[in-house]
Amino acid sequence: MSDQTLDSILGNVCPGATVTDATTLDRGNRKETTIVRFADADPVVVQRSADAEAIQTEARLLVEIADRTTVPVARPLSDNNGWLVTPYVPGEDLHVEFVDHSTAQQESLVEQFGNALAQLHEAFAFEQSGALSVVDGALHVVADRSQVAGGLELVTDSPTRGPREWVTRLGEAAVIRLPKEFDGLKPQLRSVVAHPPTDRPTPRLFPWDFRPGNALAEDGNLAAILDWEGPLAADPALSYAKAEYLIADWYVPHERADVLRAAFRRGYESVRDVPEPTAAHRVAAIASTAVDSRGQVTNPNYPPVDREAAIQFHREALGRVLDEDDR
């Protein structure tokens, strides 16, 4: 991060303030993040990305979330040409701390996540599915973009972007991307995502990385949900299924996941009816989560498990969906 550019940005956000520390975080794959502290002003977080459009979209979404919901986010102080400045929010990193909480505390936090996702679904509706961008100052689906968050390139042979067809395309792309250890499951997985539900719900906001690893907590409550890069619009059952997997399944043994799923559902139901995910939604959600934007298998739990155990974790989750679909 250029000192000259950073000084210029901070001069506009906190004029006259004296910088005492600038700490760059080793976090994320696509943005450089620095916490800047001052002698005479509140600290801020400065993020930089080579993709200025992505920063602009994330900033616009943060403003809209702050205006339309009670979901805790860091409202932007400035965004310009690939730079985003937000207030620094103190709190415990739930990726690290979630496993140390009591069962009751975990349930409470998961219920809050469910409530937050439901608020987002209630507040943001779109005419079609796909990647979001800022057009004329507002969030819209970009009709000509086939690449979505997480580095997935959608399989498509027509411009149709209805929620039903989009689940199939996302699921197909995610299954194809799975490494060779999943080859034995791929034919059945592709068959499942090829037959999504027949209803056509209104596409809702699909926050791609909505999970404890991108959240801070304070005194048992969510203090901030972070990293809103790569937002999408999609069938709400798809984002429900993906968030449920990342929040209720990711950190606890399988036998305890049902308890957290119930808490997630309670939180969601406190705002709106639950969009019941089908096997197609769940396969697309799990498969798109199993590999990150660099093509690496993602590592669940904390401390994170190794690659072999991670593959087993995702295979078992997909296997359970296939078993339930066969019943």
Residues 86-95 pLDDT 10s:
999 999 999 9
Q: Do both 62 and 174 map to the same domain?
A: no
- pLDDT of 310: 98
Residue given tokens 């155990």 in the structure block: 309
Structure tokens at 173: 């792309």
Q: CA-based Rg of the chain, rounded to a whole angstrom?
A: 20
Which of 56, 71, 87 is the last residue in one of the domains?
Answer: 87
- Determine whether 165 is exposed, middle or buried from the number of CB atoms within 10 Å of its CB (0-12, 13-18, 19+): middle
pLDDT tens column, 13-32 = 999 999 999 999 876 667 89
Question: Could you write out the DSSP letters of every residue in 204-272?
Answer: EEE-TT-SGGGEEEETTEEEEE----S-EEE-HHHHHHHHHIIIIISSS-HHHHHHHHHHHHHHHHTTS
- pLDDT of 158: 52
Q: Do both 284 and 256 map to the same domain?
A: yes
CA distances from 32 to 51, 59, 184, 288 (A): 12, 15, 38, 24
User: Where residue 217 sits, what CATH number does that domain have?
Assistant: 3.90.1200.10
How far apart CA 175 and CA 153 sit, in angstroms, is 12
**Bond before 15 cis per omega within 30 degrees:** no
309, amino acid identity = A
Q: Do both 237 and 266 map to the same domain?
A: yes
Which of 58, 87, 116 is the last residue in one of the domains?
Answer: 87
- pLDDT of 147: 67
pLDDT tens column, 181-239 = 999 999 999 999 998 877 889 999 999 999 999 999 999 999 999 999 999 999 999 99
Number of compact structural domains in the chain = 2
162 falls in which pLDDT band (50, 70, 90)?
confident
Which of 22, 57, 87 is the last residue in one of the domains?
Answer: 87
What rounded mean pLDDT belongs to the chain? 92
- What is the average pLDDT across 123-133? 94
Closest among 270, 254, 237 to 108, alpha carbons compared:
270
- What is the average pLDDT across 306-312? 98
Q: Would the pLDDT of 164 be above 90?
A: no
Q: Would the pLDDT of 2 be above 70?
A: no
pLDDT tens column, 239-287 = 999 999 999 999 999 989 999 999 999 999 999 999 999 999 999 999 9
Question: Could you write out the DSSP letters of every residue in 159-189?
Answer: ----HHHHHHHHHHHHHHHS-GGGTTTHHHH
User: Where residue 63 sits, what CATH number does that domain have?
Assistant: 3.30.200.20
- What is the average pLDDT across 135-162? 74
109 falls in which pLDDT band (50, 70, 90)?
very high
How far apart CA 277 and CA 283 sit, in angstroms, is 10
pLDDT tens column, 45-69 = 999 999 999 999 999 999 999 999 9
Instruction: Identify the H or E element spanning 79.
Output: strand 78-80
Closest among 202, 201, 213 to 243, alpha carbons compared:
213
Q: Do both 16 and 107 map to the same domain?
A: no
Closest among 76, 105, 78, 101 to 89, alpha carbons compared:
76
Domain span holding position 76: 3-87
pTM summary value: 0.95
Taking the C-alpha atoms of 234, 292, 70 and 93 in order, what is their torsion angle to the nearest 10 degrees? 170
